[in-house]
Amino acid sequence: MPAISLRLPDDVEANLKAEAQLEGKSQSEIARLAITEYLARRERERFMAEMVAEVRTAYATRKSAAKPWPLPKNSMRPTGPWTD
């Protein structure tokens, strides 16, 4: 496994050290986990942004997208062809 070197502000290093002691893990293990979780979160965020863009594009091309279905007053029950 390749090694990297990081420069951390004193307070971040102190928090990392304290967390490692609390968890009974090495500082490297905590840092690896944090980086892995960050990268996974960013990947999910990019994926979701792509999906939203695709849905917006698809929705914008539908004729029904220009005119939303009305809701009856004082009701959360939708109206439209799928209701009785």
Confidence of residue 23 (pLDDT cuts 50, 70, 90): very high
Confidence of residue 27 (pLDDT cuts 50, 70, 90): very high
Tens-digit pLDDT profile for residues 31-46: 999 999 999 999 999 9
pTM across the whole model: 0.63
Mean pLDDT of 49-71: 76
Owner of token pair 């840092």: 31
Per-residue tokens: 30 = 């905590």
Helix (H, G, I), strand (E, B), or coil: what is residue 11? helix
Kindly write down the DSSP assignment for every residue of 20-70, as one continuous string. HHHHT--HHHHHHHHHHHHHHHHHHHHHHHHHHHHHHHHHHHSGGGGSPPP
